[in-house]
Amino acid sequence: MKKLKVVIKLMSVVFVSFLIFLLLNSIRINQVTCENQYGKCGEMISSELERTKDLNIISARKKILTIISESFLVKNYSLSYKLPAKYVVHLVERKPTFALENEISEKVAMVDNEGKVLGYSGGTTLPSVLVNYELPIPGENVTNKELFSLKLVSQIYSIFKVDKSIIEKEGLTVYFNDGNRAIFPYEGDMKVLLGSLIIILNKTKDDESDFKANLERNENIAIDLRYENPVIR
């Protein structure tokens, strides 16, 4: 008798599960909305999500999760189902923070704060660094040297007027609007490097400084910060 009850319960569970499965397969998704932290999702992801319409609820969910997980533009996400036949997607999309620019082709790679290349652009107002080699492709990460340079230049941009910054063999060279330049290593404590730069450049503006008087003999100066004691030439 007990065995019969167990079998009946199991059959009931299987039958109910089968009915639920049939029900879910019969519901066709007729709307998929997508929002990110700024408002509507980007066109690329939105167009991909539109293709999940008219799929059943199970297939649509699987397809949406595949689209999201394969997109390098998405940092985080949530997915919810709304009656009667709607999926709501909330994304945290990566945002370009820096730019890596090919000096010859002038192609610009848009880079987020973690070093992920999000795409290419014909120009930008973001803090940028010039290179004379092929840019990484969208979805790839920039090198540690490039990311360090981009972060450092971003901080320099917020303090000084910069003409251009170039990744060169000897180091990251930053050219200022006044004609002076600074050479940085590709690793180190950014606060220390920036602090040293600020102190030296402030001395060049101090009318009572002997340092400025000595520099006036030269048109421009180069501040080499690759050494423990910066070299001025």
pLDDT tier for residue 43 given thresholds of 50, 70 and 90: confident
Strands 181-184 and 222-224: parallel
Q: Which amino acid is it at 127? A: P
> Is residue 93 within 8 Å of residue 112, measured between CB atoms?
no
- Reduce the DSSP state of residue 39 to 3 states and report it: strand
**Higher-pLDDT residue of 70, 206:** 70
Question: Is 23 a residue whose pLDDT tops 80?
Answer: no
Residues 103 and 166: beta-carbon distance below 8 Å: yes
Full set of structural domains in the chain with CATH: 28-93 (3.10.20), 98-232 (3.40.50)
- Global pTM? 0.80
Give the per-residue pLDDT at 106: 87
CA separation for the pair 28, 83 (Å, rounded): 11
Q: How far, in Å, are 85, 87, 118, 195 from residue 50 at the CA level?
A: 14, 11, 22, 51
Interval 186-232: pLDDT, tens: 999 999 999 999 998 887 766 555 555 555 555 678 999 999 888 88
